[in-house]
Amino acid sequence: MANQEQDGYQPSTIEEKWQRRWEERGTNAFTTDELRSADQPFYNLMMFPYPSAEGLHVGNIYAFTGADVYGRYQRLRGRTVFEPIGFDAFGIHSENFALKVGTHPMDLIPSNVANFTRQLRRIGGMFDWTHTVDTTDPAYYEWTQWIFLQLYEAGLAERKEAPVNWCPSCMTVLANEQVGAGACERCGTPVEQRRIAQWFFKITEYAERLLDNLEELDWSETTRKAQANWIGRSEGAQLHFPVLDEQGANTDDTVEVYTTRPDTIFGATYMVLAPEHPLVDAVTRAGQAGAVDAYRVQARKKDLVARQKDDRTKTGVFTGGYCRNPATGRAVPVWVADYVLMDYGTGAIMAVPGHDERDFEFARTFDLPIVRVVAGPDENADTPLEEAYVGPGRLVNSGELDGTDVSESVSVATEWAAKQGWAEARVQYRLHDWCISRQRYWGPPIPIVHCPSCGAVPVPEDELPVVLPRVEDFKPDDTGVSPMARVESWYETSCPACGGDARRETDVSDTFLDSSWYFLRYPSTDFDDRPFDPEITKQWLPVDTYIGGNEHAVLHLMYARFITMVLKDLGHIDFEEPFTQFRAHGLIIAEGAKMSKSKGNVIVPDPIIEEYGADTFRTYLMFLGPFEEGGDYRAEGIQGPHGFLHRMWDTAVSADPSAPPDPEVERKVHQTIKQVSEQIPELGYNTAIAALMECLNSVRAGGRTAARAEVEPLVVMVAPFAPHMAEELWEQLGHEESIFDGAHWPSYDDAKLAEDTVTVAVQVNGKLRGSIDVPKDAPEPDVVAAARGDENVARHLEGAAERRVIYVKERLINFVVE
RNA sequence: GCCGGGGUGGCGAAAUGGUAUACGCAGGGGACUUAAAAUCCCCCGGGAGUAAUCCCAUGCGGGUUCGAUUCCCGCCCCCGGCACCA
């Protein structure tokens, strides 16, 4: 009698065994030659983690498991799957944590990476550990710097003094994208405005392409929408308003305004300049100069929080000056107000209080004239305006434009105005250039040398990397420059152009630059003389499937797309979209609430894996809910997948190797193959697992002994979720090779799917009154007759006048009666 | 305010025009066992009824349809993102 203990499912032993084997045999690793010669390459990418001191959290594991399931599935389908992983270890996260615990990031990161690596191995991902990437490794960031130089030489990187978002707590400049509601996204401190010389990448030059390409990408709708909103294309016109002198005559100055409603020009009764607008002084009259100055000072002090807070009470000041409305010929007063933003459009607007809510509110506050120029269907030119009217209608009080329907009035008005020489059609984007410099320590130094005679000079390629030196005092300060600016021995250098004394750029680059190209590096990590090998890149890129969090829907994904486009334009690669398919996973909550330390519902993965094994943990995570929506982790719920894998094990090891499959069971197996094969590619992991459970229940029904032929397809299908157990069972079923190399994803036979008899629901007036079993392919009259024969159905039909009989083949009959 | 995603048993959830509640958790009952674990079987949306059976139920209100969780119109609520972008 076999010892139960020995034969039972022992996750920890099995998992250790197979993890060791995968590595010893290099099952998941590729040599450069193998990468070159792969015949059905599948690049399965997941967003690489920032290696925090806390270790992998459940969100990471959820994402990686979901991606790994997909990769393993593709491999069982016969693809050569490259599934790399790496570490996004530069950046403010790491640096702030290092400051907090008083350990140098150069010491901290390696131990964090080691811990992450241990955990990643433990969850049984199919990672190619011979192709990892660490963004803080000079061998990696050498090429991050190279990319900077590529952009610089292409004229896509420029240094300019710009008003930037400054976080007084992190003491660094933040990209617009890192500011949420006027506060630092990291620490929540209100952001201030400062003017500092910064490096920018001209991503705005790519706005149109970034937007247009979205249409063709196989990305989830949410992500594409988020990107489209961020790019924020709008169509309108730029209008020229001549500035008037004291006598009311035109001067040489014009105020340029951008508007999406040039058709409302006749209702433009005043204008507003942003406080920072360069023409404010020119427009302001002597009598108002004091008031205008006072307002500007106040506006500057008001940080972005106050300017963007919910409290949007309009403030402003009259400059005393006027412009001419080019349509009406009338003088309109020019105001300064902070509801107009300098960094959008032209920083100046024509105010149309009748048809813009903000302008309406401002006009009410300061008692400025409000003119109706659009009349709705039930209104006329004189209908009083109680609020800004933005609905459909026709133009009124608009001279030659009167009567034009608003559906076409924008283009009509633009054309009309352009003909008179005071307007041009203009497309405007909300996207800003990408500020990539950071006045911090923990990042790749920007490879530029500032020379008193030559200006900014790029570091020659053969001198890369510009290595970030170990500096013990890396604390940022309030000076607006990087801590590296305190390290004379490092920044003092000679000019690569003239050889004279020069100074290195002391800023480092944004972490998003590190992550904007890492997927290009993975397959080429064996090369130290090039960022990515052309041949291998051609073979493996673009990425087939990218899985990650939607929090990176705009920033990371946009920057990666931008950098890829630039590299294409510069001839380094031959594709311009890096990720053919992108899927965002959902979020895991715990016990019905967001995980947080204070709620005490944070899921710590290690002990769970310890108790149940990685396979059970993986399967449970995938079973919680639809992968793209996330799910609610409940500790006791793991019992389901736990029991399932145990039963799977018992069934497989006790299967009869020679018994023929039972036809009923075989049908169920084929139905399951069909379902699972359809659901996995759609990331419907939860329903795929449910189908496997249901199938296993059939295989075991009544405590019968399964036939091996029934079980083998199940073992293969469960392999993406529980890879260790599947390997072990596969071996015990007598196979030599790894299941991921030797097995083929099972296929189903349509002939075996069909049932001999089908159950047909019988309704009377749409209400279920019975169900009948009829032979498959039974002719309709027979089925209808059988339905009438049902006792309960007959009762409901009795004495009623039949109007129609609806028959849906092999599904349902509906008697429509009166 | 705008853009997404949601709202179905005690709970996680399934079903994309055709038998609502698959699969699983929790709960109840039973079998095996000295006991426990594991395993197996049965019950499990609400109401009425001894039962057959009937009525009600997928956030709310309408509509289309023989038939609606699913499609259309109008609301309410929750989650995520954006937000004075002219």
CA of A801 to C1' of B48 (A): 29
Q: How many CB atoms lie within 10 A of CB A285?
A: 14
CA of A668 to C1' of B66 (A): 33
User: pLDDT at residue A193 above 50?
Assistant: yes
- CA–CA separation, A763 vs A815, rounded Å? 6
Indicate the range of A170-179, A425-434, A708-717 predicted with least confidence: A170-179
Round the average pLDDT of chain A to a whole number and report it: 90
Q: Look up the protein residue whose alpha carbon has the minimum distance to the C1' of B55.
A: A767
User: pLDDT at residue A182 above 70?
Assistant: no
Q: Look up the protein residue whose alpha carbon has the minimum distance to the C1' of B54.
A: A769
pLDDT at A194: 77
- Six-digit token pair at A714? 């199940």
Question: Which nucleotide is nearest to A813 if distance is taken from CA to C1'?
Answer: B18
pLDDT at A171: 75
A550 touches strand B (CB under 7 A): yes
Maximum alpha-carbon separation in chain A = 112
A757 touches strand B (CB under 7 A): no
- CA–CA separation, A509 vs A507, rounded Å? 7
Tens digits of residue pLDDT in A564-621: 999 999 999 999 999 999 999 998 888 878 887 777 788 889 999 999 999 999 999 9
Cα-Cα-Cα-Cα dihedral sign, residues A761, A764, A770, A773: negative
User: What's the DSSP call for residue A469?
Assistant: P
What whole-number percentage of chain A has pLDDT above 70?
96
CA of A608 to C1' of B1 (A): 45
Question: Which nucleotide is nearest to A690 if distance is taken from CA to C1'?
Answer: B23
CA geometry: angle at A731 spanning A727 and A737, to 5°? 80
What whole-number percentage of chain A has pLDDT above 90?
64
Tens digits of residue pLDDT in A730-785: 999 999 999 999 999 999 988 888 778 888 999 998 889 988 888 888 888 999 99
Instruction: Give yes or no for a contact between A384 and A360, defined as CB atoms under 8 angstroms apart.
Output: no
pLDDT band at A92 (very low <50, low <70, confident <90, very high): confident
A640 touches strand B (CB under 7 A): yes
Question: Which nucleotide is nearest to A272 if distance is taken from CA to C1'?
Answer: B86
CA of A436 to C1' of B42 (A): 66
A364 touches strand B (CB under 7 A): no
A165 touches strand B (CB under 7 A): no
CA of A792 to C1' of B43 (A): 25
pLDDT at A180: 63
A227 touches strand B (CB under 7 A): no
In 3D, which of A384, A335, A350, A348 has the Cα closest to residue A263?
A: A350
Question: Which nucleotide is nearest to A694 if distance is taken from CA to C1'?
Answer: B23
A277 touches strand B (CB under 7 A): no
Question: Which nucleotide is nearest to A237 if distance is taken from CA to C1'?
Answer: B86
User: pLDDT at residue A304 above 70?
Assistant: no
Q: Show Cβ contacts of residue A32 under 8 Å, excluding neighbours closer than 6 positions.
A: A526, A533, A536
CA of A290 to C1' of B21 (A): 72
User: pLDDT at residue A4 above 50?
Assistant: no
pLDDT at A5: 41
Indicate the range of A307-321, A689-703, A761-775 predicted with least confidence: A307-321
User: pLDDT at residue A310 above 60?
Assistant: no
In 3D, which of A200, A261, A255, A216 has the Cα closest to residue A431?
A: A200
User: What separation, in Å, do the N-terminal and C-terminal C-alpha atoms of chain A show?
Assistant: 69
Indicate the range of A75-84, A200-209, A271-280, A474-483 predicted with least confidence: A474-483
CA of A119 to C1' of B23 (A): 30
Residues 54-93 of A with CB under 7 A from strand B: none
Instruction: Give yes or no for a contact between A449 and A505, defined as CB atoms under 8 angstroms apart.
Output: yes
pLDDT band at A1 (very low <50, low <70, confident <90, very high): very low
A648 or A174, higher pLDDT? A648
CA of A773 to C1' of B51 (A): 24
A139 touches strand B (CB under 7 A): no
Q: Which string of DSSP letters, residue by residue, matches A724-749?
A: HHHHHHHHHTT--S-HHHH-------
SS3 letters for A535-563? HHHHHHCCEEEEEEEHHHCCHHHHHHHHH
User: pLDDT at residue A305 above 90?
Assistant: no
A734 touches strand B (CB under 7 A): no
Tens digits of residue pLDDT in A238-265: 999 999 999 999 999 999 999 999 999 9
3-state secondary structure of A223: helix
- CA–CA separation, A216 vs A199, rounded Å? 32
A483 touches strand B (CB under 7 A): no
pLDDT at A177: 60
Q: Decide: residue A234, CB within 10 A, 0-12 exposed, 13-18 middle, 19+ buried.
A: middle
Residues 647-666 of A with CB under 7 A from strand B: 647, 650
CA of A510 to C1' of B43 (A): 61
A708 or A193, higher pLDDT? A708
User: pLDDT at residue A125 above 90?
Assistant: yes
Residue type at position A799? G
pLDDT at A2: 32
Strand A331-336 relative to strand A317-324, pairing: antiparallel
A10 touches strand B (CB under 7 A): no
- Six-digit token pair at A679? 């659901």
SS3 letters for A424-445? EEEEECCCCCEECEECCCCCCE
Phi, psi of A319 (to 5 degrees): -80, -15
Tens digits of residue pLDDT in A6-63: 458 888 899 999 999 999 999 999 999 999 999 999 999 999 999 988 888 898 999 9
pLDDT at A7: 59
In 3D, which of A543, A508, A509, A507 has the Cα closest to residue A523?
A: A543
Residues 166-205 of A with CB under 7 A from strand B: 176, 180-181
Instruction: Give yes or no for a contact between A113 and A49, defined as CB atoms under 8 angstroms apart.
Output: no
Which DSSP helix (H) or strand (E) runs through A770? strand A767-775
pLDDT at A798: 84
- Six-digit token pair at A519? 């997927």
CA geometry: angle at A351 spanning A347 and A353, to 5°? 145
Q: Decide: residue A691, CB within 10 A, 0-12 exposed, 13-18 middle, 19+ buried.
A: buried
pLDDT at A818: 79
A631 touches strand B (CB under 7 A): yes
User: pLDDT at residue A3 above 50?
Assistant: no
pLDDT at A386: 87
pTM of the full structure: 0.92
pLDDT band at A225 (very low <50, low <70, confident <90, very high): confident
A769 touches strand B (CB under 7 A): yes
Tens digits of residue pLDDT in A450-466: 999 999 999 999 998 99
Nucleotides of B under 7 A from a protein CB: 3-6, 11-15, 18-20, 22-26, 38-41, 52-55, 66-68, 80-86
